[in-house]
Structure 1
Amino acid sequence: MSATPAERTVILHGHEFSYTDSGSGPALMFIHGLLGSQQQWAHLVDRLDDNHRVVVPDLFGHGESAKPIGDYSLGAHAATLRDLLDRLDIERVTLIGHSLGGGIAMVFSYLFPERVDRLVLVSSGGLGREVSALLRSATLPGAEYVLPVIASGWMRDRLATAGRALQKLGMQPGSDITQVWRGFTSLGDADTRRAFLATTRAVIDPGGQSVTAHDYLPEVDPIPTLVVWGTRDRLIPAWHAASATSSIEGCRVELFQGAGHFPHLDDPDRFADLVREFVTTTG
């Protein structure tokens, strides 16, 4: 098993951009979701970098990357990832995107189809209007005044205390609760909150998701695509996986029974095996 790769930084668009780059061979790029970071994919790097080059960035506004004032649209994120690939001299890549990252991956494949070998969409945004009320609430007027209160140290401490009490009673949080909590704790500083609201409002409105891949994917040449979803996803409903087949020719769907919004964390071995099999048997 290889050592955990160190995070690296590069200056893109005048700001620091954090990523890991490990292994050699055909390139895989993992794209995290809203309030996520490259750490959500870290457990997969040493499962796949023995015969692939694995690149895992922190999107602008997330993780260790900068949180500048600016454009947080799907297209802006896709352009940044294209620029990172250019810096790394990577011509073509398989994109693996989770949630928001899935939406970015689809926009990337539309804008730069000559750079994409395959797509793996995990609990992806952009395939239907429905999304959790929690995320819709971040688009409401005044959310920028509410977030500092609910993400304050006082509130985080009390929620953490409640969580420890539940653990003492034998109630262990699943991947969804754990990751949502980690994302919530990242909102303690103003720059991260501003970037979160800008990113959310670029793709969601009070009624649900405001950007749909169904408008443009039928117009592009088909790219081999694997869609992965947890059957108990409470953030984006699993039936969106079926809707993908109407816009993505030859799309393959794999459901993880009992998994939530993070199937790659709920069953990482199955997920790694699926990705390895997909990238070696398609294209």
Structure 2
Amino acid sequence: MENNFFAVDGGAKVSYREQGHGKVILLLHGFCGSSAYWDELSPLLPEGYRWMMPDLRGHGESGAPAGDYTMDAFAADLAQMIKGLELEPVVMLGHSLGGYITLAFAERYPELLSGFGLIHSTGFPDNEAGKEGRLKSITTIEEQGLPAFIEGLIPKLFAPEHLASMPEAVAKAKRIGEQTDSQAAIRTLQGMRSRPDRNHVLAEAKIPVLLIAGEQDQIIPVERTFSVSSGLITQVQIPSAAHMSMVEAPQALLEAIETFLAKE
């Protein structure tokens, strides 16, 4: 699948892949990921939708501009792309970091959305232990380099049994991670560390919301994903997945997304 590019403020380019035609569904990858995170899901995606998979700033083939890597900065990139390509309104589904960005986007640009969702993500901010962990990650990158950080990160994203049964998928995730700009990774860690509580965005949503959790997720436990309930919120738990359902259980993830879109 070819990558397309859209220039945002400052001259940086956002890379994105797309397939299909129809209503736009944006799939946002997680930290130290890229649009390649959706490779296992892409062949399964149904027709009738325009599926767009961007690389977030500093990740994949997108540019790594100087400046902030706050959740709002990522959201602003996407808003420019959506407006510039005349895509609105879209459904935005964000994995992990992508979910934090989705919440920032829903808070700042609700008029550009017709629905949104979190995939292995949460409306909660980092707790004190989480903030300390971000600082340790920054130190690892600064002192040992990005590959050393990725080597420690990726195994935590998969269910223990999948580390043995999916070695190629784990190795691919590491390769994708190593494509991340190291300074962008540090700034993104700072941005995640400083993000606010956005559970109110879920609670106050006037459009359909999808929350997907992995039963075996060691990064974001189920209860932190299912933080808010309402008539507009659909909660789906995937038993066979940890933090990487798009790789560990793509069919189950797709069924959850398709069911949600049918209601949307």
Q: TM-score range by the shorter chain?
A: 0.7 to 0.9
Q: Secondary structure at the match of 1:254?
A: strand
Distance 1:238 1:180, change over 3 A: farther
Stretches of structure 1 that go unaligned for 5 or more consecutive residues are 157-169
Contact 2:41/2:247 (8 A) holds in 1 = no
1:10 maps to 2:24? no
Three-state SS of the structure 2 residue aligned to 1:9 is: strand
**3-state SS of the aligned residue for 2:228?**
helix
**Residue 240 of structure 1: how far off its partner (Å):** 0.8
Which string of whole-angstrom CA distances, capped at 9 and with x for unpartnered residues, describes residues 137-170 of structure 1? 342474453242x636xx97xxxxxxxxxxxxx9
SS at match of 2:220: coil
**Aligned pairs, number:** 250
How far apart are residue 25 of structure 1 and its match?
Answer: 0.8
Asked if the contact 1:22–1:49 (Cα under 8 Å) also holds between the matched residues in 2, the reply is: no
- Following TM superposition, by how much is the alpha carbon of 1:250 offset from its aligned partner in structure 2, in angstroms? 3.1
Highest CA radius of gyration, 1 or 2? 1
Q: Measure how far apart 1:185 and its partner are.
A: 3.0
2:217 aligned partner: 233
Q: Does 1:251 align with 2:255?
A: no
Q: Percent sequence identity over matched residues? A: 24
Once residues 22 and 266 of structure 1 are traced to their aligned partners in structure 2, the CA distance between those partners, rounded to angstroms, is 22
Among 188, 198, 203, the residue aligned to 2:187: 198
Q: How far did 1:211 drift?
A: 2.6
1:213 corresponds to: 198
Partner of 1:160: none
Q: Cα gap change, 1:70/1:12 in structure 2, threshold over 3 Å: closer, same or farther?
A: same
Conserved? CA contact 1:100–1:125, under 8 Å: no
Shift of 1:238: 1.8
Q: 2 CA distance for matches of 1:197 and 1:38?
A: 20
State the partner residue of 1:222: 206
1:24-51 Cα deviation digits (max 9, x unpaired): 1111000011001000113333433511
**TM-score normalised over the length of structure 2:** 0.83
Give me the TM-score of the superposition, normalised by structure 1.
0.78
2:71 matched to which residue of 1? 74
- Comparing 220-229 and 138-147, the one that deviates more: 138-147
Shift of 1:121: 0.9
DSSP 3-state at the match of 1:29:
strand
* Aligned counterpart, 1:162: none
Question: What RMSD, in angstroms, separates the aligned Cα atoms of the two structures?
Answer: 2.8
What secondary structure does 1:151 align onto? helix
- Equivalent position of 1:186 in the other structure: 179
Deviation at 1:16, TM superposition (A): 2.0
The whole-number CA distance in structure 2 between the counterparts of 1:131 and 1:100 is 18
